Structure 1
Amino acid sequence: MPGVFPSSASPTGALLAADSTRSVSLSGGSLTLVAVVTVIAILSLGAAAYFRQEVLAAGEGTVRMQEIARAVQEGASAYLSRQFRTLGVFVVIVFFVLFALPGDASVRIGRSIFFVVGALFSASIGYFGMSLAVRANVRVAAAARDQGAEPAMKVGFRTGGVVGMATVGLGLLGASVVVLLYRDDAPSVLEGFGFGAALLAMFMRVGGGIFTKAADVGADLVGKVEQGIPEDDPRNAATIADNVGDNVGDCAGMAADLFESYAVTLVAALILGKAAFGEEGLVFPLIVPALGALTAVAGILMTRARQGENGLKAINRAFYASAAIAAVLCTVAAFAYLPGSYGGLHDAFADSDVNPRVVAIFSVLLGIVLAAAILALTGYFTGTDKTPTRDVGRTSLTGPATVVLAGISLGLESAVYTAVVIGAAVYLAFLLGGGSVVVSLFAIALAGCGLLTTVGVIVAMDTFGPVSDNAQGIAEMSGDVTGAGARILTDLDAVGNTTKAITKGIAIATAVLAATALFGSYSDAWQTAFTNARVDESSLSDSVVHSLSLTISDPNVLVGLILGASVVFLFSGLAITAVSRAAGAVVYEVRRQFRDHPGIMTGETRPEYGKVVDICTRDSLRELATPGLLAVMAPIAVGFGLGIGPLAAYLAGAIACGTLMAVFLANAGGAWDNAKKIVEDGAHGGKGSAAHEATVIGDTVGDPFKDTAGPAINPLIKVMNLVAVLIAPAIVKLTVGDDANTGLRIAIAVLALAVIVAAVTVSRRRGIAVGDAEPSARAGATR
């Protein structure tokens, strides 16, 4: 069966497997460069500390504003502390599972240790980003009140700069230290580092997303729709939980998400770089994001709004400027470090016309251009000043149904354009390889590294969103910011909504590039294991041959493809259902408080904010296990049950479907949110009108789309790819050779499937709306 095994594959395909075991020693010059990268990582953390001090030096506003801010701080810290205690169990279990996988003892130890390091770094990014954001929000509100638009925007964006530089610093630090310590074995050890970062990011994305959107949906449905009070009115018991959620979901969750994208892309680039370029391939992928760290500082410092200028223009200008600087520096680095031919890099390509410098330069530039294209495309479909979102707002004149339909159609359409742009970038990077699979895959990974040069600014853009949203909430709840100050915060909130949507789009692009590169790493892993097994292919049974087949016409491969796409749908459905369930509990609680305490509406009685925070915390943490187990166990079930080929198809289906689904959910939700802002600014009747109620309903539908299910798909597809890379040698070992054990292989698959079924069954039995104050509703919902 041609094309199935390394020995019968194309020469370049066989080369990928052969080169994974090629010994690579780092010269003194290369080690010096890696050490310089480590220093840049430490300096990036220093820049984060400098920006942090600058933010904390700003004024905190009135006593009432500070009281509200402290309530948000306490709720966010309590939630993340409980979440980390819950996730600690998963980290310990996976640590020992990784140690039990086949391989050299030193690599297994290093991979397990750096899995923990990756998880800790991901958690740290989320926690420290949140801890500053909940202190910066009141400072942005105070700056808008006392100083004006430019100082308020500066405080908000510098807050994001802290998180951005910390993301870059920790990502570079982890990768460079592994290369310094393990050198030739660094790619294998980095698999653990990336897996730890991705797993924690997925949990934080899901948990934080459920928390924030349960509070947001509950607050909107009862406060805005039923009681007719403003979004952040202090009489609404869910307002504090809503503001807490912005930080644990958008700050902590997104920061962890982009950090793991950073880590996983570097993992894939180093694995493939070793095979393609040898020594230079282990070093150049570190040089590119290190230069990006330097340009990120410039981008953050350049973000200043001119008099009367929309804040988004200032942010975009700084982004494009920093991206251009990064492109120039990376071009110089490629000419300075890489040779002009493959002679000395790779004997198999010594006579090739492919120029390593050209491959590296154009791959990196492709990633930078992709980031800029996604920024422009997402901004067009979700910006308040753009036609698509304005059209969604206009449909509010005919009711909530047309608002929902318009948002769905916009999301579906925009997903196609974004997917085509990402697909074009992947294919162009592939063409740069000049017919070599290994070089083409490395080019795709380098495109991801090019995109990483903008990550510092991208994270700053994302964090700016929830900080400005919280600032407006604190201003409205305190009643101490009025007039021009209130208007400034409204404008910054609208800008923040767009930057959050943009960064979600870029995060999706990063995820696809990383997953595609990891797909090549998966091929490398299983082909290497097959080669090392020294199997006589003629002795294999037909069933074994089909389990290793990569031919899409084989039924088992097609089934794998369908299952990969199906998991994305199931994962998204579970996340949205979890929000619906938790939001139902919030609705019951807020209704109860309005009913039992009439003094809340007159301002005589203070709402019980803590009860809603507790509901969101409890329900979001309870929902973490099911999507996490699905992400880890599904590839295990497919790989051990159907084989190597079907697992490859499974990953392809998940990447393709995940790309479209994530963009659809993010852009539809972003458009609904900003359509609401357009109406609240006075269009189509303004606040309190029927049009406003229609857009509020659209926004509540979009909340779990854009802030829970959509963003969580990014780490999902990378977690599944990393699981596949890690288990591929074990699948081959149990499928062919002297250690083949069909019974054990099928038993593992059945056990993984049983875990998935049990987790989903338990999740579905929880009911739709649960509230301690509504026992009859609980009983009715679960019948």
Structure 2
Amino acid sequence: MSGSSTILAAESGAVSLSGSNVTFVIVAIVFALVALAFAAVFVQSVLKAGRGTTSMQEIAGAVQEGASAYLIRQFRTLAIFVVIAVVLLFLLPVHGSGDNETMVKIGRSLFFIVGAVFSSFIGGAGMALATRANVRVAAAASETGGREKAMGIAFRTGGVVGFLTVGLGLAGGALVVLIYRSDAPTVLEGFGFGAALLAMFMRVGGGIFTKAADVGADLVGKVEKGIPEDDPRNAATIADNVGDNVGDCAGMAADLFESYAVTLVAALILGQAAFGQDGLIFPLIVSTVGVVIAIVGVFITRLRASDRNGLTAINRAFYISAVLSAVIVAVISFLYLPDSFAGFNDSSLDAGVVASGRNPQLVAIGAVVIGIVLAAAIQALTGYFTEVERRPVQDIGKSSQTGAATVVLAGISIGLESAVYSALLIGAGVYGAFLLGGSSITLSLFAVALAGTGLLTTVGVIVAMDTFGPISDNAQGIAEMSGDVDERGAQILTELDAVGNTTKAITKGIAIATAVLAATALFGSYTNTLSSSLADAGLQPDQIGLEILNLLNISNPRNLVGLLIGAAVVFLFSGLAINAVSRSAGAVVMEVRRQFREFPGIMDYSQRPEYGRVVDICTRDAQRELLTPGLLAIMAPIAVGFGLGAGALASYLAGAIGAGTLMAVFLANSGGAWDNAKKLVEDGAYGGKGSDAHAATVIGDTVGDPFKDTAGPAINPLLKVMNLVSLLIAPAVVAWSIGTDRNTPLRVSIAVVAALIIVAAVVWSKRKPISMGEEPSAAEPESKRVSA
């Protein structure tokens, strides 16, 4: 039986869940609720810690107010996209639903909203707690046992976000399976799309905000005025600390949640296509293991007095969690799965695989272990290229003795080199999982999806690691601005901040790996959808396999064009994001300079900077600039699919995955290495703070800021948004281009409109001048500016 006919066999009949499998789904929901309960417990634990001095509380309050105002404004902007997407999802056709088509469309639209709300909630809740934990971390650093206490608060806060991620992700997926049964994969497309779309917008918008403030603060404060990074005399410091939360807490939390949700969606779609109800349930069981691992991983992350730094404790907990995850999944595989493919319920695997003697238990264990090992390997590789003690960062630090140009060149070369190794590592993981499927494409793609699910069994610890970074950064900023933390406490916070830079780089690397695994699995789901859509268009089963091969033939010039466009979109998306930071940072630089010029008392502390003015500039620009990259991500697949056809759209996705993997790693690792090279010099190397070497590394860091915190991380949700858009439009693309429902005028019109929207958005973006800010009205009170 061909791969396409295999898929059709799975989807042709309804998949009803047995009583035991219904029990497994309910158990998954219970474990999801347990994760949410642990999140509530940890929130109370964090909030019980001391809040420090009045000055520290005032600074933290300003950061909290600015972050909340930004996020509320962003959600209002994104609500428009949510409404439009819900309408379009209802209008797009679905396949294989029979008489339930209307209910499935309603469910897909409804769970799109659920995915979007979950993504927004995790980002908002994570940010809200982080803006309350930062001052507590700063206060704990000066207490007895300050290093252990400060790290414990920061990591437990990250643990809350981790519990929310696994809890809501698992609950959403399990509820869809419980309610919709055989139609769950189609409804899950909406759930994953909602999570991915909101995450992409939050990543881009938050990244623009945080890096515009960071770059502006560094260029004027450190380079021009020679004052410390978080000096209260710098008008951009509050905006910089706000940005850490809206970008790295809210944005990254939403990003990792959508990675979790989309990978689970892909595994469930391919699992059902491979072998019916058992394939639909097993990924939920693996994700349930992730809840247990999240709880254990956060609890065992404890900094010992003998540990060199916080990274030692984090690495120890991560590797223990990874090993424990592999062992539990192995046990569950032997308990749940049969020892031959013939034993699966509703098995639709072809006879060749059944006869090959492959053991589904070993296939599942192998796939999950590949994902877990890939996460550990990415962590080690990324750490090598971004840790202060490692040679790459040391080499960038040495290059600072010859100026900023060599710092920039050294960072770019390290980023390019690391992208190659990371891509090869991720490629080896994908191909290793693929080989487990033998001669069945369906099983091979399901193994890839399981590898992603296995990698994300450690997502609770990964999210905690990521959130730890901005909290530590904020804590150091609050300490420096208030001046209320003693020298020993300041040194502890500096150490935690450097560790946070590395953990952020590591989690970005792992997020990229999950993006590739999820995108590859979704690519397989796309071909599955093509098969079903071709059947709906009237093709016979024996014709579908040949038609699929013809559509995916890369020697077809149309498909080659699609591949080139897919790669080009990644470059254009990255360029738009970086240019947005450049424009907004220019406005921040001019505003901070204006305040130093017009209020000379700022330098001797006799006048207070207008912090709210910079917050307002960053908020306004972030909302304005995120629209063009967002429209590009949504409209480009529509233009290619309806304009060039289903085969060209498949090639488009392949080009985007290839270019996106390399680009994301390059941007993330270059930026992380530049940041820690700056830390290296600030700790006293090559002249320390205030030296020419320091100025050179600051410039390198400002170049790397939009690399690692805006464009690079945003590529992850970009890939999944484009894959999901393609998955959603595939039935319409096939129906209107092949078979009895051909409608060439409508298809071409949609492609032209989508292309025109992209062109108009890019032209509008490029025609905007660098915003240099507006002179504040003398009558406008400071309180009004802050609230804006």
**What's the TM-score bracket when you normalise by the shorter of the two chains?**
over 0.9
Q: Does structure 2 retain, via aligned residues, the 8 Å contact 1:16–1:437?
A: no
- Paired residue type of 1:628: G
Partner of 1:95: 86
Partner of 1:404: 408
Q: Is it true that 1:432 corresponds to 2:431 in the alignment?
A: no
Partner of 1:251: 249
Q: 1:378-427 deviations in whole A, cap 9, x for unaligned? A: 00000011111111111000100000000000000000000000000000
Q: 1:111 aligns with which of 108, 115, 122?
A: 108
**Separation of aligned partners in 1, 2:620 and 2:89:** 30
Q: Is it true that 1:274 corresponds to 2:272 in the alignment?
A: yes
Q: 1:230-287 deviations in whole A, cap 9, x for unaligned? A: 0000000000000000000000000000000000001100000001121111111011
Partner of 1:567: 569
Q: Is it true that 1:286 corresponds to 2:284 in the alignment?
A: yes
Partner of 1:7: none
- Paired residue type of 1:14: S
Superposition pairs of residues 49-198 of structure 1, within 5 angstroms? 49-103=40-94, 104-147=101-144, 148-198=146-196
**Separation of aligned partners in 1, 2:282 and 2:276:** 10
Partner of 2:295: 297
DSSP-derived class of the 2:304 partner: coil
Distance change (3 Å), C-alpha of 1:546 and 1:427 = closer
Q: 1:491 aligns with which of 495, 510, 518?
A: 495
DSSP-derived class of the 1:772 partner: coil
Partner of 1:323: 322
Q: Does structure 1 retain, via aligned residues, the 8 Å contact 2:86–2:113?
A: yes
Q: 2:455 aligns with which of 451, 455, 462?
A: 451
Aligned-pair RMSD on alpha carbons? 1.6
Deviation at 1:546, TM superposition (A): 11
Partner of 2:21: 30
Q: Does structure 2 retain, via aligned residues, the 8 Å contact 1:548–1:644?
A: no
**Separation of aligned partners in 1, 2:258 and 2:378:** 19
Q: Is it true that 1:695 corresponds to 2:693 in the alignment?
A: no
Q: 1:308-344 deviations in whole A, cap 9, x for unaligned? A: 4211010000000111111111001100000000113
Partner of 1:239: 237
Partner of 2:785: none
DSSP-derived class of the 1:23 partner: coil
Deviation at 1:58, TM superposition (A): 0.5
**Separation of aligned partners in 1, 2:164 and 2:542:** 54
Q: 1:603-629 deviations in whole A, cap 9, x for unaligned? A: 000000000000000000011211111
Runs of 4+ residues over 4 Å off in structure 1: 536-540, 544-548
Distance change (3 Å), C-alpha of 1:293 and 1:612 = same
Deviation at 1:12, TM superposition (A): 2.4
**Separation of aligned partners in 1, 2:547 and 2:736:** 13
- Paired residue type of 1:715: P
**Separation of aligned partners in 2, 1:275 and 1:769:** 52
Partner of 2:38: 47
**Separation of aligned partners in 2, 1:503 and 1:574:** 24
DSSP-derived class of the 1:301 partner: helix
- Paired residue type of 1:33: F
**Separation of aligned partners in 2, 1:339 and 1:546:** 31
Q: Is it true that 1:14 corresponds to 2:5 in the alignment?
A: yes
Partner of 1:746: 748
Partner of 2:261: 263
DSSP-derived class of the 1:235 partner: coil
Partner of 2:364: 360
DSSP-derived class of the 1:602 partner: coil
Q: Does structure 1 retain, via aligned residues, the 8 Å contact 2:210–2:243?
A: yes
DSSP-derived class of the 1:206 partner: helix
Q: Does structure 1 retain, via aligned residues, the 8 Å contact 2:535–2:541?
A: no
Partner of 2:484: 480
**Separation of aligned partners in 1, 2:449 and 2:704:** 32
DSSP-derived class of the 1:521 partner: helix
Q: 1:423-458 deviations in whole A, cap 9, x for unaligned? A: 000000010001110000000000000011010000
**Separation of aligned partners in 1, 2:488 and 2:302:** 19
Deviation at 1:24, TM superposition (A): 1.4
Partner of 2:557: 555
Deviation at 1:352, TM superposition (A): 3.2
DSSP-derived class of the 2:14 partner: coil
Deviation at 1:28, TM superposition (A): 0.4
Q: 1:692-726 deviations in whole A, cap 9, x for unaligned? A: 00000000000000000000000000000000000
**Separation of aligned partners in 2, 1:229 and 1:478:** 15
**Separation of aligned partners in 2, 1:229 and 1:90:** 42
Superposition pairs of residues 591-740 of structure 1, within 5 angstroms? 591-740=593-742
Partner of 1:517: 521
- Paired residue type of 1:343: A
- Paired residue type of 1:651: L
Partner of 1:387: 391
Q: 1:577-617 deviations in whole A, cap 9, x for unaligned? A: 00000000000100000000000001000000000000000
Q: Is it true that 1:466 corresponds to 2:470 in the alignment?
A: yes
Partner of 1:780: none
**Separation of aligned partners in 1, 2:5 and 2:756:** 36
Partner of 1:5: none
- Paired residue type of 1:195: F
Q: Does structure 2 retain, via aligned residues, the 8 Å contact 1:580–1:769?
A: no
Q: Does structure 2 retain, via aligned residues, the 8 Å contact 1:222–1:587?
A: yes
Gaps of 5+ in 2: 95-100, 778-788
Deviation at 1:538, TM superposition (A): 13
Q: Is it true that 1:764 corresponds to 2:769 in the alignment?
A: no
* Structure 2 length-normalised TM: 0.95
**Separation of aligned partners in 1, 2:615 and 2:306:** 38
Q: Does structure 1 retain, via aligned residues, the 8 Å contact 2:537–2:741?
A: no
Which stretch shifts more, 287-296 or 83-92?
Answer: 287-296
**Separation of aligned partners in 1, 2:48 and 2:657:** 44
Q: Does structure 2 retain, via aligned residues, the 8 Å contact 1:73–1:244?
A: yes
Q: Does structure 2 retain, via aligned residues, the 8 Å contact 1:547–1:645?
A: no
Q: Does structure 1 retain, via aligned residues, the 8 Å contact 2:66–2:239?
A: yes
Aligned positions, number? 763
Q: Does structure 2 retain, via aligned residues, the 8 Å contact 1:577–1:768?
A: no
- Paired residue type of 1:52: V
**Separation of aligned partners in 1, 2:57 and 2:149:** 19
**Separation of aligned partners in 1, 2:749 and 2:4:** 32
Q: Does structure 2 retain, via aligned residues, the 8 Å contact 1:17–1:525?
A: no
Q: Does structure 1 retain, via aligned residues, the 8 Å contact 2:466–2:500?
A: yes
Q: Does structure 1 retain, via aligned residues, the 8 Å contact 2:4–2:531?
A: no
Q: 1:163-185 deviations in whole A, cap 9, x for unaligned? A: 01111100001000111101111
Distance change (3 Å), C-alpha of 1:473 and 1:629 = same
Partner of 1:779: none
Q: Does structure 1 retain, via aligned residues, the 8 Å contact 2:668–2:712?
A: yes
Deviation at 1:23, TM superposition (A): 2.2
